[in-house]
Amino acid sequence: MIKNIIFDFGGVLLDWNPRYLYKDYFRDGREMEHFLADVCTPERNSELDCGFPFAEWVRKYRKMYPEYSEAIALYHTGWPKMLGGLLPDGAALLRDMKSAGYAIYGLTNWSAETICYAYEAFGDMKLLFDGIVVSGEEKTLKPGPEIYRILLDRYGLKADECVFLDDSRKNIKTAVALGIKGVLYDNALRVKEELSALLK
């Protein structure tokens, strides 16, 4: 019997995209895409999500790419502009699940230094969570299994009583390997249908 719904944050509950910040910085969209694909890449952002300090991260990559020194520094100082706010469908689903009596948990790859902005975006909805595990605070990332075990152990959850919603197939695969039901968050209507079938 499912008792707990675990939500990823980015792409499920929150709209995060560095282009919101850099579209006003780079005059050339192609240069922006180059910067995000080859300089401040998703892989390098994962270092922040794993607890690497922002200030050290900025120094490291400014030395590697001095021609983008200002833009790299902006990745830190302008970070809040990357957050577009709540995703309505995901937020509505969370509220519905809480109202239906399920316990709600968060499991996210996110920097410990910027998770405060996510909480600000949640507003009162943060009070609906029964527990949250943040990769930057634990210094371990999805899809590695350790962070899932931290969530289960910390809150005394049984894997077979949990459903995990994430927009990454790799993250869902790990959850399923640990005995957690997984739902890929790719289409709000399909997700609702799959979740409803699991909760019957």
* DSSP characters over 4-47: EEEE-SBTTTEEE-THHHHTTT-SSHHHHHHHHHHTS-HHHHHH
Q: Is the pLDDT of residue 200 over 90?
A: no
pTM, full prediction? 0.96
Query: Do residues 125 and 95 make contact, with C-beta atoms less than 8 angstroms apart?
Result: yes
Query: Which helix (H) or strand (E) covers residue 112, if one does?
Result: none
Where do we find the tokens 């990769």? Answer: 135
pLDDT in tens, 45-104: 999 999 999 999 999 999 999 999 999 999 999 999 999 999 999 999 999 999 999 999
